[in-house]
Structure 1
Amino acid sequence: MIPFYALIASFLLFRGVGLLGLQYWNDWQTALQWAIAVMLLLGASAHWGRRRPDLVRMVPPVFPGKEWIVTVTGMLEITGAIGLLLPAVSLAAAVCLVVLLTAMLPANIYAARNQLMIGGKPVPKLPVRLAIELVFIAAVLLASPLI
């Protein structure tokens, strides 16, 4: 839930700064791109911090190399966050982020169905988890140059 809250709070902050007159932040799409970057960087930090063992447990048993998967997805989140902010590659980054978020969905479903914990707190129930994932995907699509 923390990445979800970070997305909402940072979007409101960046958008508010734009409404106060800072020209760069005046565009809602730019504010959303930066908010997604904040969300992704925050989420990626868990891939190497205290929550790493929780993320490793989230990877369904059918997938080998759980540690490797967690490391790579963290690196891809960082890469996507940076890429989304660079106009030359933001479209490609958005497409890749949608693919990444979709690819990580089995871990989120597994975690919800098995009532796993992240940072000592239970993961959201499956309907909530799916809704959050759809919000993340929709945000990336709305922040992309396609819109």
Structure 2
Amino acid sequence: MEPLIALVAVTGIGLLVGALKVRPLRRLPTALRGGLAAMFLLTGGAHFVGMRQELMDMVPPALPAPGLLVTLTGVAELVGALALLWRATSGPAAGALGILLIVMFPANVYAADTATLWWDRLVPRTVTQLVFVSATATVLADRLRDTSATGSWGRIHLGLSRRPRRSDGGAVDPPATEPQAVETSGPERPTEFRRDGG
């Protein structure tokens, strides 16, 4: 329940701050990046402090080395949370974290069998996981849309995409230049057109 509260609260605060002051936070995918980062910092930290044994008990018996699995997934969540905060890596991070949520879902099913609280039972856990996966998918889709507008993941990863932004957060296309005729030497050569305007 705490991860859901962290996601909703931080996303809501981000949208509120965006509505009042910080223009980029007006967009849901941007605010969701903050909410997801808070959520995964919370859950990733729990893999090491406070809930480690409980998380190891959630690992289905068919899987080996529960301690190692909990450590690896905790590291993945913490790294993913930090990567969500940087625009350039937020798309791949959201995609990887969404896959991680799906891969770890059997642990939720296994843990639901022994649940004593209503929100730990299978249906609430499933709905909560769907919310988390939907949030990561929203961030990934936004980054893919922006990537297609800028041309490549590489430019985004390197932070070289510094295109002006519209008020809704989308990229502004550069002005198109009209082809201009350029005369070449000699009467036998046809007129050439160049797009660069020169």
Q: TM-score, normalised by structure 1?
A: 0.90
Q: Are the aligned partners of 1:7 and 1:38 in contact in 2 as well (CA < 8 Å)? A: yes
Give the match for residue 82 of structure 1.
Answer: 82
Give the match for residue 138 of structure 1.
Answer: 134
Normalized per residue, which structure has more helix?
A: 1
Q: TM-score, normalised by structure 2?
A: 0.68
Question: Which consecutive residues of structure 1, in runs of 5 or more, have no partner in the other structure?
Answer: none
Q: CA deviation at 1:130?
A: 0.5
Q: Which amino acid is 1:27 matched to? A: R
Aligned residues: 143
Whole-angstrom distance in 2 between the partners of 1:21 and 1:133: 31
Whole-angstrom distance in 2 between the partners of 1:55 and 1:123: 16
SS of structure 2 residue aligned to 1:88: helix
Q: Which amino acid is 2:22 matched to? A: L
Structure number with greater Rg is 2
Q: How does 1:87-102 map to 2 (within 5 A)?
A: 87-102=87-102
Whole-angstrom distance in 1 between the partners of 2:35 and 2:126: 20
Question: Which consecutive residues of structure 2, in runs of 5 or more, have no partner in the other structure?
Answer: 146-198
Q: How does 1:44-83 map to 2 (within 5 A)?
A: 44-83=44-83
SS of structure 1 residue aligned to 2:50: coil
Q: CA deviation at 1:3?
A: 0.2
Give the match for residue 17 of structure 2.
Answer: 17
Higher relative contact order (CA 8 A, sep 6+): 1
Q: Which amino acid is 1:66 matched to? A: P
Whole-angstrom distance in 2 between the partners of 1:20 and 1:86: 22
Q: Which amino acid is 1:43 matched to? A: T
Whole-angstrom distance in 2 between the partners of 1:21 and 1:89: 25
